[in-house]
Amino acid sequence: MFSKVSVNHPLAYFFLAFITMAGLSYINFLPGVVNALAGSIGFSDAQAGQIVALNGYGGLLGSTIAIFLVRRMRWQQAMYTCLPMLAVIDTGTLWIEDYSVMLGWRFLAGLFGGLCVGIGFSVLARLNNADRAFGTLLLIQFSLGALVIYLLPAFEMLLGAYAVFYLMAGFALLSLIMMLFLPSLATDHKPVKQSVLLSELNGNAVLLLLAITAYQLAASAIWTYVGRIGLNAGIHADHVSLSIAMTGLLGLLGAMLPVISGNRFGRLSWVITGVALSIISALLLSVSPLTPLFYITSMALLFFSWPAVQSYLLAVTADMDGTGRLSALAAVVSSVGLATGPLLASGLLERGNFSSMLYASALVFLACLFLLFKPVQAQEKAENPVLSSHYQSNTKDPI
């Protein structure tokens, strides 16, 4: 009844990336979710942050469970179960007014969403071009996030305070439709290399997972409060939303790097540049007094770097382990960073002063730079003999 697309068709990459994104879609427009919860819905700022954090930790649990499911059940069956449940829970949020019930309800949403994300990561990792797969995922995340943040005020006027939850449910239902056009990937695995998870995680895998966690932690800490930072800089609230949406579009360019270039020119130089730009972004935001020019420039640097760095690091995890289990584990540690970043940031805030949080984020970015260097370089040597000989020639003692 439905025509299946080829596993190597660009639409297959797009559909799978969108389905993976839909699991925890709220992260893409997190400031809008927090504003809705702490605004017309009626929760306090602190309660809104805690609700979002519980949603994130539910996603962490779901992604963890996915690690043990990816090789024990068909991924399509799991998605056909989790996506409808996610849509029902997101829609049911409209009738919940009690804070304690909301905490549990959003944790449950995170659980099913995390399952979708973990399973989706493992499937993306088994596609032939992991750089394109994860680049497409980040491309969708940033484009959709910018679009939703820009249009959310209009949606709220049309649908009410819970408009953002209607959108989440809509993304889950749209993902179900996309599932109908996807082929089975049961026999389309990449050649399985030695799985680092079947015995034990080797040192490079651990360093890479720590780097992913560190980057997500620092980036999400800034992302959570980027709106408040703009208001503190004296920018009008409407202009803050517009600035976030417009600079967020630069994430499209960052996400396009791995989609276009893949691994043809290596990944190490790209990720080093991206993390360095992220450090500069955090430091620019900490300048006092913060001018609108510095504010917009810093957001542009971060939003350009974020998708490129993450997609390249995720592609490295896919190359390290052809079974997809390491990529599912990468989804878990990514959730750890995304859920912990807002909590860490809130603990470092001072009255009207974001400097401590921003300096801490810059230091975490710097730690990420040291963590990723060895595993990314080692994988480039293993995958590209030309780059390997180049590294060797550069490390020989001069005669």
Q: Residue 398 gets which letter from DSSP?
A: P
% of residues, the chain, pLDDT over 70: 83
Do the beta carbons of residue 145 and residue 254 sit within 8 Å?
Answer: no
pTM: 0.72
Taking the C-alpha atoms of residue 258 and residue 330, their distance in angstroms, rounded to an integer, is 18
In the chain, % of residues over pLDDT 90: 20
Q: What is the mean pLDDT of residues 255-282?
A: 78
pLDDT digits (tens, 9 = 90+) for 186-209: 534 444 444 444 444 577 888 999
Between 378 and 130, where is the model more confident? 378
| pLDDT-based confidence at residue 145 (cuts at 50, 70, 90) | confident
Note the pLDDT of residue 197.
46
pLDDT tens-digit profile of 269-278? Answer: 888 999 999 9
CA distance 194 to 13: 25
Query: Which stretch of 113-117, 259-263, 271-275 has the lowest confidence by average pLDDT?
Result: 259-263
Distances in Å between the Cα of 206 and the Cα atoms of 78, 210, 306, 329 are: 28, 6, 21, 11
Residue 109 has pLDDT above 90, yes or no: yes
pLDDT at 84 over 90: yes
Q: What pLDDT score does 169 carry?
A: 93
Number of C-beta neighbours around residue 104 at 10 A: 13
Domain annotation for the chain: domains and CATH numbers = 12-181+201-388 (1.20.1250.20)
* pLDDT for res 397: 41
Is 54 within 8 Å of 170 (Cβ atoms)? no
For the chain, what is the largest distance between any 2 Cα atoms, rounded to a whole number of angstroms? 75
Residue 241 vs residues 28, 148, 173, 224: alpha-carbon distances, Å: 14, 11, 27, 13
pLDDT at res. 357: 87
Report which of 70, 79, 149, 164 is spatially closest to residue 113, judged by C-alpha positions. 79
Cα separation of 337 and 331, whole Å? 10
pLDDT at 2 over 60: no
Alpha helices of the chain — where are they, by DSSP H?
A: 10-23, 30-38, 45-69, 75-92, 99-125, 130-159, 163-179, 203-232, 237-248, 250-261, 268-285, 292-320, 325-348, 355-383, 385-395
